[in-house]
Chain A
């Protein structure tokens, strides 16, 4: 299946199971069972994990296409955590992918999680959909671990939290929980590469959400009439439409560029750029889209908020807003002035 075909199949699935009212219900309940089941049945939660490890095969490009479709539908499930990030961590250490609801334990919480023999100790937060997880995947002391989640018997305790989009971001407390499986992480799997995977996943979701905001806002600007004509005929409103569509193009290109780099084996530069650009796009696009919609966009009756609240939440996730420009800028300055343009042209081939 080509990436375009995959995207359109996924779009159909989300259109059926991640309708705005499904998203609203999941925000209230903390879970979207029919959507998750459909994703598992289609194998979409397991894309980019090799079949021999229990995955659905496919590559990072496929997983990213699914996340774009998910972002466009505000899909309230830990799709990035289950496949692109968690599936990758397990597979990198040769561990098989468990069936069921799974999410990841982010690195670098203070104090960090630790392993005492085969027992996990400490507190992890924020854990996406932690309270529903049957399996938790993490990187602890250089070891890839699979542990039972709060929804499994013998799992850790959990206290609920949520981001601005009412997506569960829970605190999971390990008071001596025995891991289900463990294996040393290979050299290339580090906290840094873990954050990069998270950032790529968020950037892909944000690219999808921005493209959906672009379509919604353009449609509204052609339907809504004021002063006797569609508001999209006013130059001041056209400026907002241009901003939104520019950012949609920026993000589509940036995510593609990051995926290409991952496929070539070095993507530190490109992923940092993609997440930075996604965060900036979130700011510009939400402002312009709300301004174009006016008061109706500020209501829960109109679906714009499902997308804009996610953009506001996601821009602060996956390492935070300043992490990526700080890291990239420091590396670029260290390489000196004459490497700057070659880095812009060739990315991670020049600067990681």
Chain B
């Protein structure tokens, strides 16, 4: 099992310093509303500025607009962005998921047309996996792609799709053949401006209507050029891709800013015996989750696919993100969450805590529920 990473090199530490300096200049602390991990706000200008520095799609080969960087380089950048609460929403899926998928499975035309735009921070993607009757059980998707002339016609319903209302493209898992449950699945890139695409916002648990959506696909035309990899290989691709997205800092860092701002705003409580003990315990867990997560990135750079490790980390890291919220809440009095204070006097910590209480159940659901992850992880144990 891969558990211990080589320390960051001088070059990697220099990269971290560059990202820190960029963030301090672009998003001075106190001058923006930080987000909670990957659910941070969408800010196209910020994504463009980040891309300008070469930090979106950085592992993409240079001939497609990337920087030929390593998985560890990306780890270094993403870690700094997330722990700063930077607004990564616009490019997040494109950077973490779509760019590696296109590099691995894309045609030359797809790479040439899409990767440079991803690396410039222009494109926003959404992920069309869940359906009304297919959540954890993705093999039962019903959205169908039917051969029509020299392309495909896609019809069905995708739900609980993050950022569908602003995405340029959806990566959609669809049934294109019958046969076994896992066979006959394919993935398409669907242009969200195509005729037949309708996006209907679904109010999220926090009351926002600009995040979750239902996407109706009614005979949407998709050309062969927008098929990802081979027809019928969607399931295998999907499984591989989940390995990439499982173990990054986004799976254990989402609620870090609560701890930081707790120390800032509730200094007396943090310095109390119970407060200090909790900070010590949380620090130990952050330290080791970070080591495990970095070890996976190092292993990916060495050409390995540490899928079992990645699943173990995500299952543990996402539960930890939730534990942070409940542990801090228990130290505090409950008014903060119940809203007995006037809204305009809520401090940053208060706001982060309120958001975290509402959002944290999603941590162990998004990207594959922990219950399903555990069965995946067990298969890889030896």
Contact = CB atoms under 8 A, between A and B. Distances in A.
B259 interface: yes
A252 interface: yes
B1 A252 contact: yes
A37 interface: no
Interface stretch (A48-56, A180-188, A342-350): A342-350
A249 B285 CA distance: 12
B263 A340 contact: yes
B375 interface: yes
A250 B283 contact: no
A293 to B, nearest CB: 17
A242 B373 CA distance: 10
A265 interface: no
A332 B315 CA distance: 27
Interface string B307-335: 00100110110000000000000000000
A325 B382 CA distance: 33
B168 interface: no
Interface in B262-285: 263-264, 267, 270-271, 273, 275-281, 283-285
B146 interface: no
A246 B275 CA distance: 26
A277 B285 contact: yes
Chain B contact residues: helix, strand, loop or mixed: helix
Contacts of A260: 7
Given A250-B292, A256-B3, A344 B286 contact: yes
Interface size for chain A: under 10, 10 to 19, 20 to 34, or 35 or more residues?
35 or more
A253 B374 contact: no
A250 B280 contact: no
A256 B83 CA distance: 25
Nearest to A256: B4
Contact of B281 (A248, A325, A333, A340): A325
Contacts of B7: 260
A336 interface: yes
B373 to A, nearest CB: 8
A328 B284 contact: yes
A232 interface: yes
B371 interface: yes
Given A235-B374, A239-B374, A329 B277 contact: yes
Contacts of B236: none
Chain A contact residues: helix, strand, loop or mixed: helix
A218 B379 CA distance: 11
A330 interface: yes
B295 A218 contact: no
A329 B276 contact: yes
Contacts of A347: 287
B275 A341 contact: no
Interface in A278-325: 280, 322, 324-325
A94 interface: no
Contacts of A270: 287
A161 B264 CA distance: 47
Contact of B261 (A273, A327, A337): A337
Interface string A219-242: 000000000000010010011011
7 contacts: A241-B381, A327-B280, A329-B278, A330-B276, A333-B267, A334-B271, A340-B279
Given A253-B288, A254-B287, A337-B264, 8 more contacts: A235-B371, A245-B1, A254-B288, A257-B288, A328-B280, A329-B277, A341-B260, A344-B290
